[in-house]
């Protein structure tokens, strides 16, 4: 993860909370990459001079082939990994058009809130999962 760095080991990243029919979209990272085979909410690094919402829409288009409407910010957090830290911005998103094509992930799942605890999430995304668990239902 590289992106809008405020110093050598800090970056801004976005995550899409894509909901449909009471379920939320999650994707599994590929083997051979950082956090191999862990699950995440898709998204990615914010490029220099790029807005958060624009970055998230671009990442979803590149990674999944979907055009999304980026809605409200659900949760923002700072997370420190051993070798870098991130500011994560998780937004509610709605699919506008496109056909799913996994370009950066090996699997996907539409999970209920209750099912999320069964997946091995990256530690930053796990913080988002904990916040989602407090909701009675997904939008």
Confidence band of 8 (pLDDT split at 50, 70, 90):
low
Tens of pLDDT, residues 95-105 = 999 999 999 99
Domain count, the chain: 1
Cα gap 133→70, rounded to integer Å: 21
Of the given ranges (2-6, 9-13, 61-65, 104-108), which has the lowest mean pLDDT? 2-6
Q: Are 94 and 13 in contact (CB under 8 A)?
A: no
User: Is residue 3 included in any domain, yes or no?
Assistant: no
139 in a structural domain: no
Residue 137 lies in a domain: no
Residue at 91 is within a domain: yes
What b/e string do you get for 17-54 counting C-beta neighbours within 10 Å, with b at 16 or more? bbbeeeebbbbbbeeeeebeebbbbbbbbbeeebebbe
Beta pairing partners, 14: 44, 89
Of residues 48, 42, 34, 47, the one with CA closest to residue 63:
42
Residue 58 in domain: yes
On whether residue 4 sits in a domain, the answer given is no
Establish if 59 belongs to a structural domain: yes
pLDDT tens per residue across span 20-70: 999 999 999 999 999 999 999 999 999 999 999 999 999 999 999 999 999
Single pTM value for the model? 0.92
Q: Give the model's pLDDT for residue 6.
A: 45
85 in any annotated domain: yes
What's 84's domain CATH number?
A: 3.90.79.10
pLDDT digits (tens, 9 = 90+) for 76-95: 999 999 899 999 999 999 99
Distance CA 132, CA 18 (A): 12
- Give me the domain span that covers residue 91: 10-132
Compute the distance between CA of residue 43 and CA of residue 59 in angstroms, rounded to an integer. 5
Q: Is residue 44 within 8 Å of 27, Cβ to Cβ?
A: no
């Amino acid at each position: 993860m590289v992106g809008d760095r405020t110093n050598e080991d800090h970056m801004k990243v976005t995550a899409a909370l894509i909901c449909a029919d009471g379920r939320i979209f999650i994707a599994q990272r590929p083997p051979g990459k950082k956090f191999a085979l862990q699950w995440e909410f898709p998204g990615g690094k914010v490029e220099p001079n790029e807005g958060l919402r624009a970055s998230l829409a671009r990442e979803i288009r590149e990674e999944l082939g979907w055009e999304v409407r980026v809605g409200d910010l659900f949760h923002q957090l700072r997370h420190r990994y051993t070798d870098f830290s991130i500011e994560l911005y998780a937004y509610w998103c709605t699919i506008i058009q496109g056909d799913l094509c996994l370009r950066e992930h090996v699997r996907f799942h539409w999970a209920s809130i209750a099912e999320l605890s069964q997946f091995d999430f990256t530690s930053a995304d796990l913080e988002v999962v904990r916040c989602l668990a407090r909701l009675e239902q997904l939008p």
